[in-house]
Structure 1
Amino acid sequence: MNNTDGGHGRPRLPRLFTWRRPASWWARALLAVGMLLALMLLLRQPLADRLWPQARIDRLLDEGARALAEGRLDAADGQGARQKYEAAQALDSDRGEARAGLARVGRQALANARQAIGARRFDEAHRWLALAAELQLPRAQVDAVAGQLRQAELADIDPGVVRGRAEAALAAGDVEAALPLFAQWLAVAPDDPAALEGREDALSLLLERVRPALRQGDLVGAARWLALTRRHDPGHVALPDLKAAYAQALAAQLRRVEVQRQRGRLAEAARLVTALHEAEPADAAVAQESQRVALALVVHARRQAGDFHFDAAGEALAQARALAPASGALASALVEAQRDLERARAAEARLHVPERTKDAPASMVRRTLAGFDEALRRGDWIEPPGASAYDRLRAAQGLAPGDPAVRAAATRMQSAVAACVEEGLRDNRLRAAQDCHDAWQALAPSDPALAPARRRLAQRWLAVGEERLRAGELEAAAHALDSARRLDPSTPGLEEFAAQLVRARPGLR
């Protein structure tokens, strides 16, 4: 039988493979399997950690034991034995291997402390002791090694050398250097009259600085010197009077901050409260005033953003963030202010036109003012960006700031938003009044009538918050508190209401 090709009579070669698609399919399948295997190889550890957490715990325990054997007890990069055992304990607090591992780390830290004491490396010994204490080894064991360290440090002190250095520092007037030396001297000879007298002289010189510092407003220096005195002689006879004088000066500085804040001198208020925070970082009244100044800076930033003063707005926001932790009302106020700043930037970019006065086409000014009138009729005071009455007015002012029609439009809008605030307050429509207030603030931030209107609106929000609190509507009360704070952080009764709300809803700040 002849193999021919159809009717052409050409012989046909025998075909070894009649269909090539399967070969291509197998190649693709093999490639996919290879990629899957490679992916599983890469992700085997994360998948194992997620699907089999016990495997991850075992791995952490092994890594902790290895780090302990290598002497890496504590490491900031997370690779120390302590960090590995703590990570394993966090995954399963019921397993005792991690607790036992941490105990072994603590015992090794104590052993290292003893070795450091024997080698007279006292700073290193203090660090190992601190680690053992943090790992909650038995107090008696830690105290025993601490006692050895104190004895070794005392034995290392040459009384004659220390006495000479202490007296030289005191004679030079360097009391802050002299006091630690007198402390060493007294540790060796606690009843030495010369050491006691020298320490008393140094403390007297130190405390002489406190009252002049208080008169000059240097609370940071005064606080440091009082703390140093308490550390060396907690029962010093002059301390009670000086502490009372310091407390009075602190209260006076807080009042100064409040006055500066209420007068709108926020840069000075921020400078003063920053110094107070440095002097008393844990003082509740200082922290509270820091929050108030920060909130006032946020309000100022929103005004500056509304007036397209972006650099000033950004600077005020940065100051607010530096003054107080961004939590609670301050956190939400910062988010809203940042949003306002970005929105104002976008609006300014859309409306930016070259400044022209005489050569601006009258038809363009008329069209812009017509858009302004339409937005005014709709009540679109500052929203949406680019199409609001405020943005249209800004565009018209950029085209022809001296045009009588443009100036009349600005006056008309200012009157309209002021009337809108009054109407919203009268009808108890506080959200509408808030929108009109924001437009008024953006349009004329220095208008003397704005501040009393702002205070009334904040007081109304506060009244709503108290009403919601009595009704048990805590979220609505918290929203009203935030609204009042953003408007006027110095509203009378604001902090008292905030305290009531904290008691009603623990965790609120």
Structure 2
Amino acid sequence: MTVNPDPPSPSPVSRTRIEPASGDWSRLRFDDPAPLRETPPRLQQWGLRAAIALAAVIVLTMILERQALSEWLWPDTRAQVLREQAAQALAQGRLSAADGRGARELYEAALALDPDRNDARAGLARVGLAALDQAEAAIAGGRFDQARERLTLARELATPRDRVEPLARKLREREAAHAGLDGVIAAAAAARAQGRLDGGPDAALPLYQRVLELQPQHNAALEGRDDTLADLLQQARAALQRGELARGAQGVQRVQAADAGHADLPDALTQLETLVERRRRDSERALQRGRLEQAAAGFQDLLAVHPEDEAARRGLIAVAEAHAARSERYAADFRLAQAEAEWARARALAVDAPAVASARQHLERARESRKRLHQEPPAVRRQSLHRLLAEAAAAEQRGDLLTPPGDSAYDKLRAAQAIAPQDPAVRAAAARLLPAARRCFERELSGNRLSRAGECLAARRTLEGGGTAVREAAVRLAQRWVAVGDERLGAGELRAARAAVDAAHALDAAAPGLAELAARVRSAEAASN
């Protein structure tokens, strides 16, 4: 009996593949622990679309920029193209062009792309030498402007000086011969004899300078210019002696610009600076004394000499603020024409100063109040005037001279002044209140209640006007604010120190020590930010 042997065991290498029935994937088994998963068809489609879109964007970008794919991938190819284009431009004589297509610009672009290669540097050197060739041809042809441009290009490209300077000298000589320098010298001498030293192209100094630009060592031009500058300095020093600071400074500065080594210049500069300091002191003193027109003129002269003079600029702003304060006082008395004039002066000096804007608002409010008063019948206005004067007298009897706000004798008087500022009864009431306002100021100042002292001072201005006594009181109060500001700054209270500086500046911009304190406060504020 023959027994069939057992079927052989499957080889570990050879495996029987089992094909499941269609759709019956549940029987499928894998021996690998981490079977591979096929990418879903939808993801394959999206990936293909993204790749196509990316390729389209790249191709479109390169088409729009007209840049070859090889240049985009290999920048050295672009540098080589630029060098070839530059060599072609050089061969055609296009050394430089504003549109970037000149030999110089192309070589510089190639050098920027590939700084390690010397080809572009050597090309720039050839451009410089070609510029000298073109300059020499332009000189021979009498095209002096073109020759100057080519020499400038050669210098910018660091062409050797021993090649550039002989051509530059030749250009000056040819220009001089072409211009007829003897005629220019004669015209300059005639202008100097006629007193036309400067101020126009046919004046002596510009003519001599034109010759010296062409021939720097021309003896007649050098001597003529030196004599002309001496004449200008003499005129400038005479103007300084007459106190004409701006005119004298203009002459001295003109000479300094033409020849900073002129022998007579140091003495003139010393005289100028002496007058500048004197004018500064006079202007500050005029401001303190209320001579606003004189102070403004002085500060404007200082700025004409030194436009960066911050002290003079602050002084001019202080004059504007003083005019603005006058405008407010006139507006409070319904003297609208005078208020308008003072506001216009303030605005002309410092249009952006806050005090100028505030004065404008006071003026507008006064106009509106006057308009409303004029719309009332005269009998009603008279009744209102009598009532306000009676209330002012009652407040004065109670001792409520400046307080409480709105019900004080001072406030009632201000309202009466709005109705009839020139009425004898109103003037008499103001005269009675003035001594109280003065006593109030002295009392509050001695008690170091500076804000209250400022209120009393404002009342004095309204009742007394802007006389010498009021200005002196303002100076005293400003100095006290400076002392307070110095103390607050030492204690590290920057906000209080800044408030003290602002209060002092509003009272007297030239108060002793104010400028130094303001500078220290600014430094401290900057350090704290």
Asked if 1:394 is matched to 2:433, the reply is no
1 CA distance for matches of 2:194 and 2:411? Answer: 71
| Correspondence 1:469 to 2:489 | yes
Deviation at 1:217, TM superposition (A): 1.7
Q: Cα distance, 1:153 vs. partner?
A: 7.7
> What letter corresponds to residue 391 of structure 1 in structure 2?
R
1:241 aligns with 2:270: no
Is the Cα–Cα contact under 8 Å of residues 380 and 389 in structure 1 kept in the other structure?
A: no
Kindly report which structure 2 residues correspond to 1:63-462, keeping only aligned pairs within 5 A, or say none.
140=156, 155-157=174-176, 158=179, 159-176=181-198, 177-324=203-350, 326=352, 331-352=353-374, 364-373=384-393, 377=400, 379=402, 388-395=411-418, 397=420, 401-403=423-425, 406-446=426-466, 449-462=469-482
Deviation at 1:394, TM superposition (A): 0.8
Q: Distance in 2 between matches of 1:317 and 1:363?
A: 33
Give yes or no for contact 2:324–2:359 (8 Å, CA) kept in 1.
yes
User: Which position in structure 1 is the counterpart of 2:121?
Assistant: none
Q: Is the 8 A contact 1:182 1:195 kept in 2?
A: yes
Whole-Å Cα distance in 2 between the matches of residues 485 and 447 of structure 1? 19
SS in 1 for 2:424: coil
Structure 1 runs not aligned, ≥5 long = 1-61, 63-80, 83-95, 97-110, 127-131
**By how many angstroms is 1:243 displaced?**
0.8
1:368–1:396: 8 Å Cα contact kept in structure 2? Answer: no
Deviation at 1:475, TM superposition (A): 2.2
What residue ranges of structure 2 are gaps of 5+ in the alignment? 1-64, 66-97, 100-111, 113-130
Q: CA deviation at 1:218?
A: 1.9
C-alpha distance in structure 1 between counterparts of 2:490 and 2:159, whole Å: 54
Structure 1 residues 224 and 488, CA gap change in structure 2 (3 angstroms): closer
Number of paired residues? 382
- For residues 486 and 478 of structure 1, what CA distance do their matches in structure 2 show? 12
1:136-185 deviation line (CA, Å, top 9, x unaligned) = x99936999x9999987875441234333323323333222111221221
Moved more, 221-230 or 234-243: 221-230
In 1, the alpha carbon distance for the partners of 2:473 and 2:299 equals 28
Alignment partners' CA distance in 1, 2:394 and 2:523:
48
The answer as to whether partners of 1:214 and 1:249 remain within 8 angstroms in 2 is yes
Provide the C-alpha distance between the structure 2 equivalents of 1:432 and 1:209, rounded to a whole number of angstroms: 54
Q: 1:366 to 1:185 in 2, by over 3 A?
A: closer
| Secondary structure at 2:512 match in 1 | coil
Cα distance in 2, alignment partners of residues 395 and 292 from structure 1: 28
TM-score w.r.t. structure 1 length?
A: 0.62
Partners of 1:435 and 1:143 in 2: CA distance: 75
TM-score of the superposed pair, with normalisation by structure 2: 0.60
Matched, 1:505 2:521: no
Question: Are 1:213 and 1:219, in contact at CA under 8 Å, matched by a contact in 2?
Answer: yes
Contact 1:425 1:433 in 2 (8 A): yes
Query: Whole-Å Cα distance in 2 between the matches of residues 450 and 438 of structure 1?
Result: 9
- CA distance change for structure 1 residues 208 and 390 in 2, over 3 Å: closer, same or farther? same
CA contact (8 A) 1:296 1:488 kept: no
Partner in structure 2 of residue 101 of structure 1: none
In structure 2, the CA distance between the partners of 1:421 and 1:169, relative to structure 1 (3 Å rule), is same
Q: Which moved more, 1:300-309 or 1:367-376?
A: 367-376
- Alpha carbons of 1:270 and 1:395: their partners in 2 closer, same or farther (altered >3 Å)? closer
Residue number in structure 2 paired with 1:12: none
The answer to whether the 8 A contact 2:318-2:508 is kept is no
* Counterpart code for 1:247: E
Q: Which residue of 1 aligns with 2:52?
A: none
Map of 1:91 onto structure 2: none
Mean CA deviation greater in 186-195 or 149-158: 149-158
1:120 CA drift (Å): 6.5
The alpha-carbon distance between structure 1 residues 304 and 165, as it changes in their structure 2 partners (threshold 3 A), is same
Which string of whole-angstrom CA distances, capped at 9 and with x for unpartnered residues, describes residues 406-465 of structure 1?
Answer: 454323332333333334334443333322322221222146543343333323322332
Structure-2 separation of matches of 1:433 and 1:365: 29
Q: Distance in 2 between matches of 1:351 and 1:467?
A: 48
Residues 226-278 of structure 1 show CA distances to partners (whole Å, capped at 9, x for unaligned) of 22222222111101111111111222222222232222111122223323322
Change (3 A) 1:374 1:120: farther
- 1:486 Cα deviation (Å)? 1.2
1:381–1:390 Cα contact (<8 Å) kept: no
Q: 1:193: Cα distance to partner?
A: 1.9
Verify the 8 A CA contact 2:288 2:475 in the aligned structure 1. no
Conservation of the 8 A alpha-carbon contact between 2:288 and 2:508: no
Opposite residue 174 of structure 1, the aligned amino acid is R
In 1, the alpha carbon distance for the partners of 2:142 and 2:218 equals 30
Distance, in Å, in 1 between the alignment partners of 2:154 and 2:526 is 35
Q: Is the 8 A contact 1:226 1:239 kept in 2?
A: yes
Identity fraction in percent: 36
Matched letter for residue 300 of structure 1: R
1:353: how far off?
7.7
